[in-house]
Amino acid sequence: MMNDMGMRFAAHRGVVNVDAGIRENTLASFRAAVEAKADLVELDVRLTADGSVVVLHDPDMLRVWGDPRRIDSVTLRELRDGWGDADQRIPTLEEVLTAVHGSGSRLLIDMDDEAFAAPALDVVMRCGMGREVEWCGALEAMRIIRGADADAIIWMPWSEAELPFLEDVETLRPQVLNAPHLAVGPDLVERAHELGLEVCCWTVDDEVQARHLAGIGVDGITSNRLAAIRESAHSFDVDHEENESERDERAFAVARLIAQDAAELVRESADEYRTHVHGKATPADLVTDLDGLIERLVRQALRAQFPEIPIVGEEMGGDEPECGDCWFLDPLDGSINYANGLPWFSFSLALVRDGSEPIVGAVIDPIGWRVITARRGYGAWAEGQRVTIPERAIDASDPLQGTVVAVELDNQSAWRGLNGIFGRLSERYCTLRVPGSGTASVFGIALGRGVGTLIGHFGPVDHFAGVLIVHEAGGVIMDMSGRETLNPRNSGFLASRDRRCAGALAQVWHEALSELE
């Protein structure tokens, strides 16, 4: 099934060009994919109220077409009312089959509900295109396709941490294992090939990741960026061994993608994972189902992408090596806020070298759930834009006057010296805030939220990512002795927008501790 270059590339919902007015899952996007010589054109099917098979990803038409109605609430005739250009409307599956027939590009029909399987297969067979179509989507839907067509090319969904065995595939008899790309590692590819299966993965839009996947032997990639990803995958040199800088670049890309997936899970979770909440070390140190779910998914992705790098996580622990690289993960920093319905919590993932040097960091901003990342020496980033600490007017006589400083408690308790710090800052008209997420309070400095953050004790899983982001955005990290560092282990530390504010805060902290001696 592969082309003569060894891999197949699927255009995800066609080739979309927003500037040219070409939307996803339209005849225009599919023709663009054929013109771009996509091996496969991926599309999604749904049913209208009268049972017509149409091409649309979402259950409603709001995101793509600005129409809030569900597609299953309108008939095909109602859907056609007022639509002129056939290339720029929701097409029927039959229209797409006719447009792509004989083009050299195959259709990859995706579905998230088994109810769509039989009607879609019926359309394909009526059009005589069974040999130009492949199928992916919900497992039960794939079973219906296989039961009706013994020769169908089926992509079996796979997102499990465990490797597949023969009994997992012998009933469905798929030709392809279809997995999210972060779950695809060399062990999965090897096992699938042993079972006689190709491995295809979705949805790959990062060139670095595309080269890596080509290097471990995947057979196909689904992408929103067909041309760029195809070129990157084909640029892989089989004789080249990934060096440290290249691995760091890939770690930066993977950390960002993992954080984006975690942010999406947080956005979609609402109250679903607040059902089971319990204390860990103390009743004020809470863990929820969402903590565990995110950590399991992140560990699965990291083990697939970097099987050689140990992981230390907030909920599942782990052993930090004496030297070399290690991932530090807090899946939900600020769990007590989340458990109590306060929308101020975060996520922290950092790659640290030799126990002291953060190389990559990724966090989730509670405001908008956007992802903030940093790579040592390459800056801090948010949504493709470089992050630098915003300028602000500082009182000439006192850099702390009229400002806000964040502080985080030791669970529910004040740490040593905090009461004295509070008193001294109050006298200088500086206001303390206790937001409830150490991760967010630290990296918030990079976004201009206050002039400083005080943390009573450094925690690698909570703080390494935020520390790196502040540093790369131009801020300052100091330990309790006033030493600038990116590794304030076994100490309290502060993050600040600049050296003047950092020095003033360090002096306040020193005075508060001296008073206790």
pLDDT greater than 80 at residue 387: yes
Residue 153 CA to residue 143 CA, distance in Å, equals 12
Residue 414 CA to residue 456 CA, distance in Å, equals 9
Cβ atoms of 29 and 23 within 8 Å: the answer is yes
pLDDT greater than 80 at residue 70: yes
N-term to C-term CA, the chain? 75
Q: For the chain, how many residues are written?
A: 517
Q: How many CB atoms lie within 10 A of CB 92?
A: 20
Which two tokens mark 426? 């109050």
Of residues 285 and 148, more confidence is placed in 148
Predicted confidence (pLDDT) per residue in 190-216, tens digit:
999 999 999 999 999 999 999 999 999
Average pLDDT along the chain: 94
Residue 320 — very low, low, confident or very high, per pLDDT cuts 50/70/90? very high
**Residue 462 marked in a binding site:** yes
**Residue 314 marked in a binding site:** yes
Predicted confidence (pLDDT) per residue in 416-470, tens digit:
999 999 999 999 999 999 999 999 999 999 999 999 999 999 999 999 999 999 9
pLDDT greater than 50 at residue 293: yes
Domains belonging to the chain, first-starting first, are 8-234 (3.20.20.190), 244-387 (3.30.540.10), 404-516 (3.40.190.80)
Residue 5 — very low, low, confident or very high, per pLDDT cuts 50/70/90? very low
The structure tokens 């399991």 sit at: 296
pLDDT greater than 90 at residue 83: no
Among 189, 178, 168, residue whose Cα is nearest residue 134? 178
Residue 464 CA to residue 486 CA, distance in Å, equals 8
pTM: 0.93
* CA-CA-CA-CA dihedral for 188, 191, 194, 199, to nearest 10: -20
**Residue 205 marked in a binding site:** no
Give mean pLDDT, residues 282-309: 91
Predicted confidence (pLDDT) per residue in 123-178, tens digit:
999 999 999 999 999 999 999 999 999 999 999 999 987 899 999 999 999 999 99
Cβ atoms of 375 and 360 within 8 Å: the answer is yes
Which two tokens mark 416? 């040593």
Give mean pLDDT, residues 224-235: 97
Cβ atoms of 159 and 153 within 8 Å: the answer is no
In terms of Cβ atoms closer than 10 Å to its own Cβ (0-12, 13-18, 19+), residue 49 is: middle
The reported pLDDT for the residue numbered 161 is 78
Residue 380 CA to residue 388 CA, distance in Å, equals 7
DSSP 471-491: HHTT-EEEETTS-B-S--TTS
Cβ atoms of 348 and 463 within 8 Å: the answer is yes
**Residue 479 marked in a binding site:** no
Predicted confidence (pLDDT) per residue in 239-250, tens digit:
888 999 999 999
Residue 2 — very low, low, confident or very high, per pLDDT cuts 50/70/90? very low
**Residue 290 marked in a binding site:** no
Residue 155 CA to residue 36 CA, distance in Å, equals 23
When mean pLDDT is compared across 25-29, 125-129, 265-269, the lowest value belongs to: 265-269
Give the bridge partners for 137, in sequence order. 111
The reported pLDDT for the residue numbered 397 is 87
Residue 488 CA to residue 264 CA, distance in Å, equals 31
Those residues with Cβ within 8 angstroms of residue 393's Cβ, 6 or more apart along the chain or in another chain: none
Share of the chain above pLDDT 90, in %: 88
Of residues 83 and 467, more confidence is placed in 467
Residue 4 — very low, low, confident or very high, per pLDDT cuts 50/70/90? very low
Predicted confidence (pLDDT) per residue in 496-505, tens digit:
999 999 999 9
